[in-house]
Amino acid sequence: MKRMFIKRLLTCCILLGCLTCGLSMAQTQKAVWQKPTPIFSQKYDWLRLKSDEWLKGDIIAMYDDELEFDSDEFGIKIFDWQDVAELRSRFDQQIRFADGRVEQGFLIVKDGHLILLSQGREQHYPLSELLSITSSGENRKDIWDAKANIGIDISAGNVKQLEYFASAMLQRRTAFTRFRSDLTFNYSKSLSDDSQPVVSDTRRLTSYLDWFYSGRIFFRVIDYEYYSDLQQNIKRRNSLGSSVGYHIINNKRLQWDVTAGPSYQATVYYNNVEDSNPHSGALSLSTLLEYTVSRKTDYIFDYQVKFVDKASGERNHHLKTGFEFDFTDDFAMDLMLYVDRVAKPVAAVAQQAPKPSDYRLIVSIGYDF
């Protein structure tokens, strides 16, 4: 009996020792997997998503509830603002609030609050008041966007023709302003008819500067357009004006703006007996709709009409609509329909008046800078 009691006692001690060791190992393993305190290198901006993933890189901007972030590993990515858990900047940022105020400083977004560090002071703001984030370094490349497209069509056989299309876009955006310039060039040349080699030659340059008054209202301080069209007998047409704009819809998938305002237009025709240099006041109306169909596809509807006098065409329309398909972060394919219409086209000497409307369906490859 005594020997059996000793065996049972030894067995209990062994089991107790194993249990104690197991608990100790479990506690050790649990301690190993505790979340470490991050160390932030001042060489990068830092972004933490709600999935608890960290990215290092550069803050480009935040507009329309979307954060554009240049990851050091994955390149430029766009994140929904609601997916951002924490954001830290290494440079000063310009922060614009819904009431129009703009503050500047090192940025920390955490736990539903916005913290700005400036000149040794720490200021706290509710995150719900944040409207946009841009770099305060005016010479930094992050506030610039650029895109270039090109398309070429070569025909052979019964019809020998070369046609090419090129476009370019340059944009600069800060907390208060947006500057944008667009250039399109369409050229077609016959390779078989030496008497009239140039079939079409159309050029358009638009530039405007917007000043954001509030989250909904903006002023287009300067709105300039240069237009030339061989088929429409327009050697050059310059328009300069200003307008007021309104964001009808402005969310992460759909942006819809409208503008209206006065402008002045001067036209020079290639050959016109009555008045080769008409000038006219104008009323300009425009609308721009951009819709994100999917992560790789965007739809654009951009329309403008100018009401001018009869010698200048009476009504000048321009429409650009179509889709942008992203291949990678840098390359995209555009499928666009361009419509230019002059309600009362002016004929050259001893020639019939041109048709009012020109249509072009363009497929081009683009590169984002």
116 and 174 together in one domain: no
One domain for residues 238 and 132: no
Domain's final residue, options 137, 167, 193: 137
Residue 364 has pLDDT above 80, yes or no: yes
**Which pLDDT band holds residue 35 (cuts at 50, 70, 90)?**
low
pLDDT tens for each residue of 235-265: 999 999 999 999 898 776 788 999 999 999 9
Note whether 158 and 231 are same-domain residues.
yes
Owner of token pair 């989250």: 215
Residues 77 and 182 in one domain: no
CA 129 to chain centre: 23
pLDDT of residue 139 exceeding 50? no
What is the span of the domain harbouring residue 96?
45-137
Whether 96 and 173 share a structural domain: no
- Number of independent structural domains in the chain: 2
Can you read off the two tokens belonging to residue 58?
A: 């550069």
Is 313 within the bounds of a domain? yes
Total number of residues shown for the chain: 369
Does one domain contain both 242 and 348? yes
Residue 17 clears pLDDT 80, i.e. is over it? no
Contact indicator for 104, 136 with CB cutoff of 8 Å: yes
In the three-class reduction of DSSP (H, G, I as helix; E, B as strand; rest coil), residue 223 is classed as strand
CB 135 within 8 A of CB 94: yes
Residue 368 burial (CB count, 10 A): 15
Asked whether residue 19 is assigned to any structural domain, the reply reads no
Structure tokens at 131: 């409207």
- The answer to whether residue 6 is domain-embedded is no
194 shares its domain with 279: yes
**149/133 same-domain check:** no
Residue bearing the bigger pLDDT, 141 or 181: 181
Q: What is the CATH number of the domain that holds 181?
A: 2.40.160.40
Pair (225, 343) in one structural domain: yes
CB 362, CB 164: distance < 8 Å: no
17 in a structural domain: no
Tokens of 11: 């067995």
Judgement on whether residues 123 and 190 belong to the same structural domain of the protein:
no
Q: Are 243 and 261 spatial neighbours (Cβ–Cβ below 8 Å)? A: yes
> What does the pLDDT read at residue 9?
57
Asked if 160 and 132 sit in the same domain, the reply is no
Q: Tell me the three-class secondary structure of 312-350, residue by residue.
A: HCCEEEEEEEEEEEECCCCEEEEEEEEEEEECCCCCCCC
What are the tens digits of pLDDT across the range 312-323? 889 999 999 999
Interatomic CA distance for residues 238 and 234, integer angstroms: 11
Q: Where is the domain boundary, 102, 137, 172?
A: 137
Residue 106 domain-assigned (yes or no): yes
Residue 308 lies in a domain: yes
Residue 149 lies in a domain: yes
Domain boundary among 112, 137, 162: 137
pLDDT for 194 equals 67
The span from the CA of 83 to the CA of 65, in Å, is 10
Residue 230 near residue 224, CB atoms below 8 Å: no
Residue 26 lies in a domain: no
Whether residue 198 is found in the same domain as residue 171: yes
Q: What does 170-212 look like in DSSP terms, one character per residue?
A: EEEE-SSEEEEEEEEEEEEEESS-SSS-EEEEEEEEEEEEEEE
pLDDT of the residue at 75: 78
